[in-house]
Structure 1
Amino acid sequence: MIRCCDTGRPEGIEAALTSKFETLFPHLDERQGRLAMAAEARSLGHGGIRLVARAAGVRAGTVSCGVAELESGEGPLGLVSREGGGRKRLADLHPGLRPALLALVEPDVRGIRCRHCGGRRNRHAGSLQS
């Protein structure tokens, strides 16, 4: 077995890990993926977190969190993602976004599309209510 002169690990370990993760990750949820990466990193020892992060295409902090989860001995969570995880809604991040979008669309949208009359039902509602 040829060993890399820098780390003493077998050459090609990163490529092997990349292949393993590409095969495995589509079948795992977020937490399971973190724990799988953490187990690999721990088995590699010193420098394993960085190597696994590069192979998996994630931040080293993600692998470190997985290692901490493994070492804490936490049981399975009820949710896959932690509370507050995931992307925030754009409307929450930018409060003026929704009114601005509605202002752009509002002049053109004035009622429900009506198949029978070939246009919008409420277009002439103002002139009919005199």
Structure 2
Amino acid sequence: MDTDLQSKFASLLPHLYEPAARLYLGSEALSLGLGGKQKVSRLAGVSRVRTDKGIEALISPAPSGSLRTEQRIRKKSGCRKLLKEKEGGLMEALEAVIPPHTRGDPMNPLLFASNSLRHIEKALVGKGYKVSHVTIGELLKSLGYGLQANRKTAEGSSTPERDKQFEYINTTALTFMSSGAPVISVDCKKKELIGNYKNQGGEWEEKKHSPAVKEYDFAAKASGKAVPYGVYDIAQNQAWVSVGIRSATAAFAVNTLRTR
């Protein structure tokens, strides 16, 4: 499906004037439904701005005789070339800057550090590319990246070596994984009271038959606390959970690994 659509874009877009190209991109995005804009931008190799403008034109048609219907069609030479075409290797350089600083990718051992658009701009300019942080944001969106939470800086400027320890952990983890050695992450999940108490989540029940639980959560009256420990094998993409009833200590973490 994706291959066929990509072939259509490659064969049709070079022959369409800009207004028609936007309409075509917009119509394909609308037909795909949820996530269509991102998929169209990725397969066609265009910015989401062009797709958004096409969708806007489709859902709000101009009245007859308006300026939009009488627009002058630009010559092909009049369109600005895509920056990624003018700057050869830009997309590859951008993706090379991102991986060690990716946030939220479970397949990457390092999940702590993140790069701002300004930092990425500085890195690319240092490599000889002429690109602004605004354009970098658009390119990242076309690659499927999303905006992540910003970090607090009100306490003062951070040390230049802030990310060194995490980059070291990431490099070491990748070295172990490449040699076939196990690399795991262990974390303690949210503790839960044992008993008929309110917990997050839901159960399949008949409509209007919600399970009744105690109104107040008094730890002293509970049978104890369940302490879930999650273990994730990064290379094998496997995980398991052990549940204890004591404090989340190092001994419990070690025992969790041994029982596996």
Q: TM-score w.r.t. structure 1 length?
A: 0.50
The structure that is strand-richer by fraction is 2
Q: TM-score w.r.t. structure 2 length?
A: 0.26
The structure that is helix-richer by fraction is 1
